[in-house]
Amino acid sequence: MAELPILIAPDPRLRGKAKSVTTVDARVRRLMDDMLDTMYAAPGIGLAAPQVGVMERIVVVDVSGKNEPSAPMRLVNPAIVWRSEETEAGEEGCLSIPEHYADVTRPARVRVTYQDEKGTAREIEADDLLARCLQHEIDHLDGVLFVDHLSKLKRDMILRKTQKLKKSKASA
């Protein structure tokens, strides 16, 4: 178990398309454990492999509340196979775009297929925060960031500020 460095935008790896995982083996399980450690330490409720520089279709999430037992989910090759027509707006942030939050409108419910840490095929229907989180993380696998769902004006402003923050951190 180890914490991994999280990439901050802009970074070409945050804009690339991740490759499907062919075998869910010990390497993949270890990566998912490390990603969970990284996510909890940040702290965050979701993390996609490209955010730690691994261009593979792997996502971890945990949307359990503060006073609930933790509920880590490990998803390999997650894919949205159904989206509700009903949409919902909700605030999002991203560990790769620190300190910025904005309302994003997305389908309220989704059905997602994936393989679990044993390689078993699974399907879940998610709503509320889990639906939002899964859509946000699966976007990462295709190089899409939550700011891409905002107006160009808002997106450019947030990305410009993030770039500044990154530069000031690098030189600190």
By rule CB under 5 A, what count of residues binds Ni ion? 1
**Rg of the chain over all Cα atoms, to the nearest angstrom:** 16
**Quick count: other Cβ atoms within 10 Å of Cβ 52?**
21
Length of the chain as a residue count: 172
Q: Which of residues 105-164 bind Ni ion (CB under 5 A)?
A: none
91 in active site? no
Of residues 49 and 76, the one with the C-beta less far from Ni ion: 49
Min dist. Cβ of residue 25 to Ni ion (A): 26
Of residues 28 and 141, the one with the C-beta less far from Ni ion: 141
Distance CA 152, CA 144 (A): 14
**Unique residue bearing structure tokens 């078993």:** 120
Min dist. Cβ of residue 139 to Ni ion (A): 8
Which amino acid belongs to residue 89? A
Residue 89: phi, psi to the nearest 5? -100, 140
Of residues 93 and 119, the one with the C-beta less far from Ni ion: 93
N- to C-terminal Cα separation, the chain = 28
Min dist. Cβ of residue 117 to Ni ion (A): 21
| Active-site annotation holder among 68, 92, 123, 137 | 137
Min dist. Cβ of residue 35 to Ni ion (A): 12
Residue 96: phi, psi to the nearest 5? -90, -5
Of residues 76 and 94, the one with the C-beta less far from Ni ion: 94
Q: Binding marks (x or -) toward Ni ion, 69..108, rule CB under 5 A?
A: -------------------------x--------------
Asked if 163 and 99 count as a contact pair (C-beta separation under 8 A), the reply is no
Binding footprint of Ni ion on the chain (CB under 5 A): 94
Catalytic residues: 137
